[in-house]
Amino acid sequence: MKTLSVAIIGAGPAGIAVAVELKAAGIKNIAIFEKASNFCHTIRRLYPEGKRVDRDYKGIKLTQEGFLFFETETKEKFLERMGKYIKDYQIEIFYNTEINGLERTGQYYNIKAGTHTVAQAYIVIIATGVFDRPKKPSYAIPEEIKSRVFFELPKELPEREKILIVGGGNTAAELACILSGKCDVYLSYRRKGFFRINEENLRELEKRKDQITFLLGTEIKALEPEKEGVRVIFHDGHTEVFSKIFYCLGGSTPRNFLEKMGIKFKDSLPDIDEFGESNLERVFLIGDVAVKRGSIIYAFNSAHRAVKRIIDKYHILFNSLS
């Protein structure tokens, strides 16, 4: 069992950023615990090859505050950038380690993976993001069709199939563009117009308006099994059969995970201060896990602010633990 100054949960952009900020401040006794087998797993999993990683996400334009930065670039370039940060700053990451509990003993927090304590740390930073638990519809998905319903991209994209994409954000738009020309693509969105999609994706949708059938102002009532497909029943009574359905409804704060650790909520969000410190002393939440609408630059900046606060408030600690 390791004794750490800082334990970081999550090796996404926020977790890597806070590790870099800590190392740059001279704090070396740190480690990241990541449940996947690689860093930035959500980006690897949800972004197809060549997809843009946007700097200004959903219209949020922020100024860089800390050490980490990037401009809009491809998935591959972004992963290369983050890998270089990990290498250059010699960040220790324990992969395939899913943290599911904190238990305070004296001045330390025991970091638990299942029934095992894998480390004890004076400060804990939770940077898990929100996409581990994608939002799902309120209606039931029959067992017989679950192999045809997706909440993330499969390893192999479909071709020459009739596909329904459900959602009105950037992920839905980008998937529709990727599959257009390869499949018969339908895009269902409950509003009559897009308002959450960035300008570049709107332009890409416009270019493909003859390859995508837009079902705007539609809501799904139920799904039913159909021979070699899924029958979709809309609230207006219209029904249609599709080969596969992709839901792009975004993610949600893993509230059960946080509340199990003792994190209090205010309304629908974790109750944290301006630096990300929660009701648990020395437990910080940074990045998407702490806000309604985040971005990678926001994650970088929240990491910078949290580390500044840690050093200002708890600096005496590092004389003995770092």
Predicted TM-score of the model (pTM): 0.76
Domain 143-247 has CATH 3.50.50.60: yes
Q: Which two tokens stand for residue 125?
A: 């930073």
Q: Measured between alpha carbons, how far is 241 from 243 in angstroms, rounded to an integer? A: 7
The DSSP string of 218-285 is --EEEEEEETTEEEEEETTS-EEEESEEEE---B---HHHHHHHT--EETTEE---TT-B-SSTTEEE
pLDDT of residue 209: 94
Give whole-number Cα distances, 302 to 30, 239, 264, 296, in Å. Answer: 18, 46, 19, 10
Least confident of 9-18, 21-30, 101-110, 127-136: 127-136
Number of C-beta neighbours around residue 139 at 10 A: 11
What does the mean pLDDT of the chain come to?
A: 90
The DSSP string of 144-213 is GGGGGEESS--SS---SSEEEEE-SSHHHHHHHHHHBTTBEEEEEESSSS--SS-HHHHHHHHHTTTTEE
Residue 84 has pLDDT above 90, yes or no: yes
The residue among 27, 30, 32 whose CA lies nearest residue 9 is: 32
| Per-residue model confidence as pLDDT tens digits over 231-251 | 999 999 999 999 999 999 877
| Per-residue model confidence as pLDDT tens digits over 258-283 | 888 899 998 888 999 999 999 999 99
Mean of the pLDDT values across residues 59-80?
89
**11 confidence band (pLDDT: 50, 70, 90):** very high
pLDDT of residue 116: 81
Question: Is-contact 276 284, C-beta < 8 A?
Answer: yes
Which residues belong to CATH 3.50.50.60 in the chain? 2-132+251-321, 143-247
Q: Within 28-169, where are the H helices?
A: 41-46, 75-88
Domain 2-132+251-321 has CATH 3.50.50.60: yes
Q: Measured between alpha carbons, how far is 224 from 217 in angstroms, rounded to an integer? A: 21
